[in-house]
Structure 1
Amino acid sequence: MTLFLLLLSAHFIGDFYLQPAKWIQCRHDKGLQSPSLFLHAGVHAVLALVALWLADAGLWQGLAAAGVITVSHFLIDWAKAGHKSHLAFALDQLAHFLVTALVALSFTKIDIASLLTSKNIWLTRENLLYLTGYIIIFKPASILIGQLLSQHAEQLKKTQGEEEGKSLGNAGRWIGYVERLLALSFILVDEYTGLGFLVATKTVFRVGDLSRERDMRLTEYMMLGTLMSFAIALITGWLVLALKP
Structure 2
Amino acid sequence: MEKIAAVLIAAHVLGDFVFQPDFIAQNKRQPLVLLLHAAIHALLAWLLLQSWHCWRVPVFVMIAHAAIDLLKQRYPQESLNAFIADQAAHILCLLILAWYLVRNSILPGFPGTGYQAIIEVAGFTSVVRGSGFPVAYVSGKLLRENDLNFDGIPNGGKLIGYFERALIFLFFVIGHPEGIGFLAAAKSILRFEEAKEQKQAEYILIGTLLSFSIAIALSSLTLYAMRL
TM-score between the two structures when normalised by the length of structure 1: 0.46
Query: Higher helix fraction: Structure 1 or Structure 2?
Result: 1
Work out which of the two has the higher radius of gyration on C-alpha atoms and give 1 or 2: 1
Structure with more relative contact order (C-alpha pairs < 8 Å, separation 6 or more): 2
